[in-house]
Amino acid sequence: MLPRSPVATIPLQAISSGPAEAAHSGIREVVNLALVTPGCIRLEVGEPNFSTPAHIVEAAVEFARKGQVKYTATAGLLSLRERLVAKLDRVNGIKAGVLNVNCTVGGVGGIAAAMAALLEPGDEVLVPDPAWPNYRLMLSWAHGVLVPYPCAPENEFLPEPRAIEELITPRTKLLIINSPCNPTGAIFPRPLMEALVDVAVRHNLYLLSDECYDEVILDGEHVSPASFCTDGRVVSAFTFSKTYAMTGWRVGYVVANDKISDSITKVLESNSSCIPTVCQKAAEAALDGPREPVQEMVKAYRERRDLCVGLLEEAELLISRPQGAFYIMADVGRSALDSREFAFDLVKSKQVAVAPGTAFGNSARDAVRISLASSPEDLSVGIGRMIERIEELAEK
Ligand SMILES: Cc1ncc(COP(=O)(O)O)c(C=O)c1O
Whose CA is closest to atom 14 on ligand 1? 46
pLDDT score recorded for residue 396: 78
Give residue-wise pLDDT tens across range 117-165.
999 999 999 999 999 999 999 999 999 999 999 999 999 999 999 999 9
Whose CA is closest to atom 1 on ligand 1? 182
Give residue-wise pLDDT tens across range 279-329.
999 999 999 999 999 999 999 999 999 999 999 999 999 999 999 999 999
Under CATH, which number does the domain 54-288 receive? 3.40.640.10
Q: Are 354 and 389 in contact (CB under 8 A)?
A: no
Q: Where are the alpha helices (DSSP H) in 66-188?
A: 78-87, 106-118, 134-142, 161-166
| CB environment 353-377: b (16+ within 10 A), e (fewer) | bbbbbbbbbebbbbbbbbbbbbeee
Ligand 1 atom closest to 252 (CA) = 10
pLDDT score recorded for residue 373: 92
Q: Give residue 57 CA to ligand 1 midpoint distance, Å.
A: 21
Under CATH, which number does the domain 17-46+292-395 receive? 3.90.1150.10
Q: Which of 28, 115, 134 to mutate to test the pocket of ligand 1 (most atoms within 8 A of CB)?
A: 134
| CB environment 124-134: b (16+ within 10 A), e (fewer) | bbbbbbbbbbe
pLDDT band at 1 (very low <50, low <70, confident <90, very high): low
pLDDT score recorded for residue 44: 95
DSSP letter (8 states) at residue 19: H
- 353: helix, strand or coil: strand
DSSP letter (8 states) at residue 121: T
In sequence order, what E strands does the chain have?
Answer: 41-42, 101-104, 124-129, 145-150, 172-178, 206-210, 234-239, 252-255, 327-331, 352-353, 355-356, 367-371
Q: Give residue 259 CA to ligand 1 midpoint distance, Å.
A: 25
Whose CA is closest to atom 7 on ligand 1? 107
Ligand 1 atom closest to 178 (CA) = 1
Ligand 1 atom closest to 47 (CA) = 14
Cα distance between residue 103 and residue 90, in whole Å? 18
Give residue-wise pLDDT tens across range 335-344.
999 999 999 9
Give residue-wise pLDDT tens across range 152-209.
999 999 999 999 999 999 999 999 999 999 999 999 999 999 999 999 999 999 999 9
**Cβ count within 10 A of residue 95:** 12
Domain edges within the chain? 17-46+292-395, 54-288
DSSP letter (8 states) at residue 89: I
Question: Taking residues 383-392, what's their average pLDDT?
Answer: 97
Ligand 1 atom closest to 250 (CA) = 10
Q: Which residues touch 85 (CB under 8 Å, ≥6 apart)?
A: 96, 97, 98, 101
Q: Give residue 95 CA to ligand 1 midpoint distance, Å.
A: 23
145 burial (CB, 10 Å; 0-12 / 13-18 / 19+) is middle
Give residue-wise pLDDT tens across range 30-60.
999 999 999 999 999 888 999 999 999 999 9
pLDDT band at 95 (very low <50, low <70, confident <90, very high): very high
CA distances from 394 to 12, 226, 311, 353 (A): 51, 47, 18, 19
pLDDT score recorded for residue 7: 61
Question: For residue 260, how many C-alpha atoms fall within 13 Å in the half-sphere facing its CB?
Answer: 25
Question: Taking residues 100-113, what's their average pLDDT?
Answer: 98
Hey, do 17-46+292-395 and 54-288 end up sharing a CATH topology, with the first three levels equal? no
pTM for the model: 0.96
Q: Give residue 161 CA to ligand 1 midpoint distance, Å.
A: 24
Q: Which of 108, 216, 326 to mutate to test the pocket of ligand 1 (most atoms within 8 A of CB)?
A: 108
Mean pLDDT, rounded, of the chain:
96
Ligand 1 pocket, Cβ-based, cut-off 6 angstroms: 46, 106-108, 132, 178, 182, 210, 212, 239, 241, 247, 252
pLDDT score recorded for residue 4: 67
CA distances from 74 to 78, 266, 301 (A): 10, 8, 34
Report whether pLDDT(346) > 80.
yes
Q: Give residue 138 CA to ligand 1 midpoint distance, Å.
A: 13
Ligand 1 atom closest to 239 (CA) = 10
Cα distance between residue 21 and residue 140, in whole Å? 8
The strand pairing partners of 355, in sequence order, are 369
Q: Give residue 212 CA to ligand 1 midpoint distance, Å.
A: 6
pLDDT score recorded for residue 317: 96
Whose CA is closest to atom 3 on ligand 1? 212
DSSP letter (8 states) at residue 239: E
The residue that leads in pLDDT, 24 or 270, is 270
Q: Give residue 210 CA to ligand 1 midpoint distance, Å.
A: 8
Degrees to nearest 5, angle at CA 320 with 363 and 30: 55
pLDDT score recorded for residue 332: 97
Q: Give residue 67 CA to ligand 1 midpoint distance, Å.
A: 31
Report whether pLDDT(239) > 80.
yes
Q: Give residue 4 CA to ligand 1 midpoint distance, Å.
A: 30
Q: Is the previous residue joined to 180 through a cis bond, with omega within 30 degrees of 0?
A: yes
